[in-house]
Amino acid sequence: METNLFAFIENALSDLSEIHLKMKIGDLSNQDLMLISNLAGKDCCGFIRTIDKFAVRHVFKNHSDEERERLRGQLPIGIEDFMLIEVITAKYDLVFIETNKLGNIIVHYEKDFDNFRLVYVEEIRNKRREIALQTMYKQKTRKS
């Protein structure tokens, strides 16, 4: 899957058309279903986890510029960070639920790695029966 995900992200960044492309990056595990049910009271049985071209472009447009991220106290996102989605959503250090401006449920994951914290935010899309990337960014962490 990593090869397909890598190719999808490269294509999303190079294809500037308005054609909506998305990729299934996995089924929701029993752990995912229980988490969402417990935190949001939402049954997501049968939903899939996806990313789409527009979300990938949003992440790179807003969180990949090294200078701008440094001013925010953050690190720039790279394609390799997307390869960690499965780790973040399965072995998170912090997870919580929010509601966005449209009233949709947002699942916010954080996972600490050696030199940074990766934040992955996804939206529950009821009509499409999917949970999709909304944004992703990388924060600096202090060394002990």
pTM beyond 0.85: the answer is yes
Compute the distance between CA of residue 68 and CA of residue 53 in angstroms, rounded to an integer: 22
What span, in angstroms and rounded, lies between the C-alpha atoms of 101 and 105?
A: 10
**Average predicted confidence (pLDDT) for the chain:** 92
Kindly tell me if the per-residue pLDDT of 121 is higher than 90: yes
Q: For residue range 9-37, what is the model confidence (pLDDT) as tens digits?
A: 999 999 888 899 999 999 999 999 999 99
| Structure confidence at residue 23 (pLDDT) | 95
List, for residues 66-104, the tens digit of each pLDDT value.
Answer: 999 999 989 999 999 999 999 999 999 999 999 988 889
